[in-house]
Amino acid sequence: MEKRIYNFAAGPAILPEPVLKEAQEQLWALPGVGMSILEISHRSKTFDKIIAEAKEGLKSLLSISDDYELLFLQGGASLQFSMVPLNLMVKNKKADYIVTGSWSKKAVKEAKRVGTVNIAASTEEGNFKRIPKQEELKLDPQADYVHFTSNNTIFGTEWHKEPEVRNVPLVCDASSDILHKKIDVSKYALIYAGAQKNIGPSGVTLVIIRKDLLERSSDSLHTMLNYKTHVENNSLYNTPNVFGIYIINLVCKWLNGLGGLDGMYKINKEKADILYKCIDESGGFYKGHAEKDSRSLMNITFNLASEDLEKKLVSEATAAGFDGLKGHRSVGGLRASIYNAFPKKGVEDLVSFMKDFQKKNG
Ligand code: PMP
């Protein structure tokens, strides 16, 4: 069988090996079904069970109460940039957005088509190196909701605590750090996340929505853009991403086997600490992009002294079996995405490689 390499891609990203193996085994025929997951009807009993289990798996990992509905939608997190304001920006037709990176900016762009957007804070000055402090947030108590991006995939920054927004509903794009640790879902009105980093493959988007918000969704909305449609039809109004939901279910089982999200967080912290330590102890050879208190545990961004040296590192690393390290063009340098499924051994091996590279080029 083909050997696997270390995949540091930002998304679609690495999946847990036991999940891939189980899916591979079952791809010929699901036990007792005689057909593969790629072939079964989304209206079959088998799939009813899979979608129910996937929801239960997520509910139990995140301790989500019955006050919330879970949806598996399509159109990526990017469609949520539109669905959120279309469904929720209805009372006062205004919302607060905290801008911490390119994805927050894209969310703002769509929200502005629906109503008034107040930029409650932006850390664009300094190229999104940090998460704003609570005191910096200029929140409007009349806003229909506050939107923030919990992890900034491109810049490598992450909120370590939710912004405090009092009674205004809090909406979060958690695409790149969902399930990396336990969060208190009761603080949120709506959480959305494209699956392709920490939950599963691309093509399915998780939406966790508090039930009371559904009364805001107007019947005049297009059917597919209305959260109520998907709640009323258990995410089966149209054909969902059957395979994606199946993988999500396996990923939840894998996480439960590791001790749930507390166990996962411990591992994620260890992995990120190893890499940040290497950066911090390099005497300036490697320079982290994010300010220390804003550092992401999922996407670790850093630069070297010159673009040429960065290119050399990426190319030598790729040749050595470390794939996907080239940083996003807006930050340059390197980005190591070390999502839940990324093994600790891979981080340790990368650090040895980086130390060696520094010795030769420092
Ligand atoms: N939000 C964040 C934080 C992301 O990282 C991404 C994708 N990298 C998106 C939104 C857009 O997701 P999608 O491609 O699923 O639309």
Dist. CA 190 → ligand 1 center (Å): 16
Same structural domain for residues 149 and 78? yes
Task: Please say whether the beta carbons of 340 and 193 come within 8 A.
Answer: no
Residue in 248, 236, 237, 242 with CA at minimum distance from that of residue 37? 242
* Residue 259 Cα to ligand 1 middle (Å): 27
pLDDT of residue 291: 98
- Alpha carbons 6 and 345: distance in angstroms, whole number: 10
192 belongs to a structural domain: yes
pLDDT(192) > 80: yes
Give me the half-sphere count of Cα atoms (radius 13 Å) on the Cβ side of residue 121: 18
Statement to judge: residues 346 and 332 lie in one domain: yes
Q: What is the distance between the alpha carbons of residues 23 and 249, in angstroms, rounded to a whole number?
A: 11
Evaluate: CB of 159 within 6 angstroms of ligand 1.
Answer: no
Pocket flag, ligand 1, residue 103 (CB < 6 Å):
yes
For residues 292-298, average pLDDT = 98
In this structure, the residue with its CA closest to atom 14 of ligand 1 is 76
Is the residue at 193 inside a domain? Answer: yes
Of 257, 284, 305, the residue that ends a domain is 257
Catalytic position from the list 103, 228, 254, 326: 103
Domain annotation covers residue 68 = yes
Whose CA is closest to atom 5 on ligand 1? 153
According to the model, what pLDDT value does residue 203 have? Answer: 98
The answer to whether position 79 is within a domain reads yes
Would you place residue 45 in the very low, low, confident or very high pLDDT band (cuts 50, 70, 90)? very high
Same domain, 304 and 187: no
**Does the CB atom of residue 57 touch ligand 1 within 6 A?**
no
Shared-domain flag, residues 216 and 326: no
Residue 359 annotated among the catalytic residues of the structure: no
Average pLDDT (276-287) is 98
The closest of 147, 167, 170, 151 to 159, measured between CA atoms, is 151
Q: How many independent structural domains does the chain possess?
A: 2
Instruction: Say if 3 falls within a structural domain.
Output: no
End of a domain among 199, 228, 257?
257
Q: What angle do CA 69, 74, 76 make, to 5 degrees?
A: 100
Residue 355 lies in a domain: yes
Using the 3D structure, point to which of 233, 257, 281 is the last residue of a domain.
Answer: 257
How large is the average pLDDT for residues 200-222? 98
Angle formed at CA 248 by CA 245 and CA 249, multiple of 5 degrees: 90
Please give the mean pLDDT across all residues of the chain.
97
Contact (CB, 8 A) for 298 and 339: yes
Q: Which two tokens stand for residue 262?
A: 């507390």
Q: Are residues 312 and 207 part of one domain?
A: no
Measured from the Cβ of residue 63, the count of other Cβ atoms closer than 10 Å reads: 13
pLDDT recorded at residue 1: 74
Per-residue pLDDT, averaged over 118-133, amounts to 97
Annotation says 181 is catalytic: no
Phi, psi of 51 (to 5 degrees): -65, -40
Q: How confident is the model at residue 71 (pLDDT cuts 50, 70, 90)?
A: very high
User: The CATH number of the domain where 244 resides is what?
Assistant: 3.40.640.10
- Assess if residue 223 is contained within a domain: yes
Q: Residues 303, 164: one domain?
A: no
Give whole-number Cα distances, 253 to 68, 191, 199, 284, 315, in Å. 21, 21, 11, 41, 36
Residues 201 and 81 occupy one common structural domain: yes
Which of 292, 270, 308, 286 minimizes the C-alpha distance to 353? 286
CA of 10 from ligand 1 middle (Å) equals 10
Which residue in 221, 279, 231, 265 sits closest to 72, CA to CA? 231
| Domain extent for 268 | 260-361
CA dihedral (279, 270, 173, 137) positive or negative: negative
Residues 51, 171: one domain? yes
- SS3 of residue 6 by DSSP: strand
- Dihedral pair phi/psi, residue 336, rounded to 5°: -105, 110
Distances (CA, A) of 359 to 188, 311, 354: 47, 17, 9
Rounded to whole angstroms, how far apart are CA atoms 324 and 313? 12
Q: How would residue 2 be classed by pLDDT, with cut points 50, 70 and 90?
A: confident
Are both 154 and 273 inside the same structural domain? no
Ordered strands of the 299-303 beta sheet: 287-288, 299-303, 334-337
Same domain, 70 and 124: yes
The reply to whether 271 and 155 lie within a common domain is no
Q: Is the CB–ligand 1 distance for residue 173 below 6 Å?
A: yes
pLDDT confidence bin for 246, thresholds 50/70/90:
very high
Q: Which of 176, 190, 241, 335 to mutate to test the pocket of ligand 1 (most atoms within 8 A of CB)?
A: 176
Confidence of residue 361 (pLDDT cuts 50, 70, 90): very high
Report which protein residue has its CA nearest ligand 1's atom 10: 77
Residue of 96, 173, 177, 254 with catalytic role: 173
Specify the pLDDT at position 116.
Answer: 98
Q: Which atom of ligand 1 is nearest to the CA of 196?
A: 15
- Is the beta carbon of 243 within 6 A of some atom in ligand 1? no
Distance of alpha carbon 37 from the chain centroid: 25
Q: What is the pLDDT of residue 165?
A: 98
CATH code of the domain containing 269: 3.90.1150.10
Q: What pLDDT is attached to residue 79?
A: 98
- Does residue 199 contact residue 248 with C-beta atoms inside 8 Å? yes
Residues paired with 303 in a beta bridge: 287
Which H helix or E strand runs over 148? strand 146-149
Same domain, 202 and 268: no
pLDDT of residue 175: 98
Q: Say whether 184 is catalytic.
A: no
Residue 34 Cα to ligand 1 midpoint, Å, equals: 35
At 315-355, the pLDDT tens digits run 999 999 999 999 999 999 999 999 999 999 999 999 999 99
Q: Which residues share a beta bridge with 151?
A: 158
For residue 102, the one-letter residue type is S
How many angstroms separate the alpha carbon of residue 172 from the centre of ligand 1?
12
Which strands form 68-73's sheet, in the order they lie side by side? 68-73, 205-210, 190-194, 170-173, 146-149, 94-99, 116-122
C-alpha 78 – ligand 1 centre gap (Å): 6
Position 13 in a domain: no
Burial of 359 (0-12, 13-18, 19+ CB in 10 A): exposed
- Please report the atom of ligand 1 found closest to the CA of residue 79: 16
